[in-house]
């Protein structure tokens, strides 16, 4: 089989490419360019805008060195427009609504497992591969499921919750059964100098580290407003724009000097985009962050939809322990009833459903039901 692996210039995809080659596949690397800082007006908050070489080109050169070391060809593809249209536009629209988006999930759905897959098939490859920590399992009927990786600290099934069974079936995951320390060990053994000690990429998918508040100002004008102590109704400060704050946030609010409120005594529990008000409360009102159910939209469910409520584990955030819930469909949407209240579940977040190790899919949280409100 001819396999095109997404070669990012990082250690995970490099070792994944080596493992595929070792297993006898005909392997080539595919480097994706998905962000153009200059064309996309990415100036404010960009720490690398003045560098002689942009980070993506550094990653590309690292990928070239890996491909040369492994003796595989390297193809390059450009999905800057597709990324803007399908991932970044969604990202901005959610922030404008005061919600909490996760662009990595839609980067996988529309770029890595759609545009890149089409590029691979059009280029004569049989399938793609990725350096994700996730496990594909084909059942006796040939249906492809996605399971959590063996390395639970690095498991990335959460970010793959919007891809379809057909997309899962089209991809190999060589890192399914090994952990990150083993990946580093193999990279050192192979002397992959360009990536073996390279830090994992962080920040927005394919964009990287940014001063987030400044970065958003490139696309959404800052709109300062009042910070209101919800329980008393008093205005106790000014915010820079409600989209810059997350539920549960207690640092960087700029209200530590309020009388009888030491630093960290306040946290964000609600945002009103229409009125441009940020609502906070003191730690004694922590229950304001708790919800007991939520409605999930844009649902991607793998396998047959249940006709009656089923018990599932749910992640509302990456690396969060599974929260036990009862799941039931309401038309095309899913209602999740938590078996115990959960803190800081926010509209716009991704909820991912699991049956033990097996991922059943996920969707975008549309609304939540608070345990207590003012």
The active-site residue, picked from 54, 171, 205, 294, is: 205
Q: Can 107 be counted among the known catalytic residues?
A: yes
Cβ neighbours, 10 Å, residue 266: 23
d(CA 16, CA 12): 6
342's tokens? 């959960």
Q: Can 127 be counted among the known catalytic residues?
A: no
Cβ 198 vs Cβ 62: under 8 Å: yes
Q: What is the Cα 47 distance to its own chain's centre?
A: 22
Q: How far is CA 337 from CA 142, 264, 324, 352, in A?
A: 32, 31, 9, 14
| Helices 55-70 and 11-22, packing angle to 10 deg | 20
Residues facing 351 on adjacent strands: 363
Cβ 183 vs Cβ 198: under 8 Å: no
d(CA 333, CA 296): 6
The active-site residue, picked from 54, 107, 171, 325, is: 107
Q: What is the Cα 272 distance to its own chain's centre?
A: 25
Catalytic annotation, residues: 107, 205
């Amino acid at each position: 089989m001819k396999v095109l692996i997404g070669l990012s210039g990082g250690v995970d995809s490099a070792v994944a490419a080596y493992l595929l080659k070792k297993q006898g596949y005909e392997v080539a690397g595919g480097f994706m360019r998905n962000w153009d800082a200059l064309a996309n007006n990415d100036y404010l908050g960009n720490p690398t805008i003045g560098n002689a070489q942009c980070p993506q080109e550094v990653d590309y050169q690292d990928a070239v060195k890996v491909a040369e070391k492994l003796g595989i060809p390297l193809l390059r593809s450009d999905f800057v427009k597709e990324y803007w249209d399908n991932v970044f536009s969604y990202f901005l629209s959610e922030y404008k609504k005061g919600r909490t988006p996760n662009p990595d999930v839609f980067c996988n759905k529309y770029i890595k497992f759609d545009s890149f897959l089409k590029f691979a098939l059009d280029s004569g490859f049989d399938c793609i591969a990725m350096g994700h920590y996730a496990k594909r399992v084909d059942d006796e009927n040939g249906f492809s499921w996605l399971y959590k990786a063996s390395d639970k600290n690095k498991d990335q099934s959460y970010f793959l919750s919007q891809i379809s069974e057909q997309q899962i079936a089209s991809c190999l995951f060589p890192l399914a059964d090994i952990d990150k320390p083993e990946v580093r060990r193999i990279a050192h053994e192979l002397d992959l100098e360009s990536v073996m000690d390279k830090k994992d990429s962080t920040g927005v998918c394919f964009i990287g580290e940014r001063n987030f508040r400044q970065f958003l100002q490139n696309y959404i004008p800052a709109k300062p407003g009042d910070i209101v102590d919800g329980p008393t109704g008093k205005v106790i400060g000014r915010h820079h724009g409600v989209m810059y704050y997350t539920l549960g946030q207690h640092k960087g609010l700029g209200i530590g000097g309020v009388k009888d409120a030491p630093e960290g005594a306040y946290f964000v529990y609600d945002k009103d985009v229409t009125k441009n008000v940020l609502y906070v409360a003191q730690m004694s009102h922590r229950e304001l962050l708790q919800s007991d159910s939520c409605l999930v939209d844009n649902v991607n469910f793998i396998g047959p939809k249940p006709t009656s409520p089923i018990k599932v584990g749910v992640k509302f955030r990456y690396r969060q322990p599974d929260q036990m819930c009862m799941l039931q469909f309401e038309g095309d949407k899913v209602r999740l009833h938590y078996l115990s209240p959960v803190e800081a579940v926010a509209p716009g977040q991704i909820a991912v459903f699991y049956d033990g190790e097996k991922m059943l899919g996920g969707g975008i949280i549309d609304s939540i039901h608070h345990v207590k409100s003012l």
